[in-house]
Amino acid sequence: MDKLLIFNGLLFIALGILSGIPYFKSIQLVRNNERQWRIVHLAAILAGTLLLAFVPVLGYFKSHIMLVQLTVWSMVVSNWLFVVGMVVSGLTGKRGLDKHAQGSGKKIYLTYQLATAASLLNVVGILGMALLLVL
């Protein structure tokens, strides 16, 4: 699980840094998607940092492998879904916040909904780990 978090964390950080290129270009060209690229740039780096920061925490829960797997996989999946949605948002200029949207806006919205569901599993895992520490 450590390698999974480290690998994906590094990929997110690289993606976040690389997304600075379209962010910079959208600022230069005064495009409407500047906000979306800024969010991708920052959120992907933050997602990668979160995954890397979680690696040492797992050592405390080696005997609770199911809880660790739930937490790690839901964390990785939710981060990928959010970041992919944000990249598509930057490419299309659609925000993906309207459930009645059509085309790419609808696909981004659904991606965010799946990401949110995976994040809720992630929170369950994190809260479970927190409870194990105090019990």
Residue type, 56: P
**Measured distance CA(133)–CA(36) in Å, rounded:** 38
Domain ranges across the chain: 2-134
Euclidean distance between CA atoms 72 and 52, whole angstroms: 11
Q: What is the residue-level pLDDT of the chain in tens, covering all 135 positions?
A: 899 999 999 999 999 999 888 877 776 776 677 788 888 889 999 999 999 999 999 988 988 999 999 999 999 999 999 999 988 888 888 877 787 888 888 999 999 999 999 999 999 999 999 999 998
The secondary structure of the chain in percent helix, strand, coil, rounded to multiples of 5, reads 85, 0, 15
By residue count, the chain amounts to 135
**Closest by alpha carbon to 19, among 36, 41, 34?**
41
Residue 26, CA atoms < 13 Å, CB-side half-sphere: 20
Tell me how far apart the alpha carbons of residues 31 and 85 are, in angstroms, rounded to a whole number.
19
Contact between 84 and 17 (Cβ < 8 Å):
no
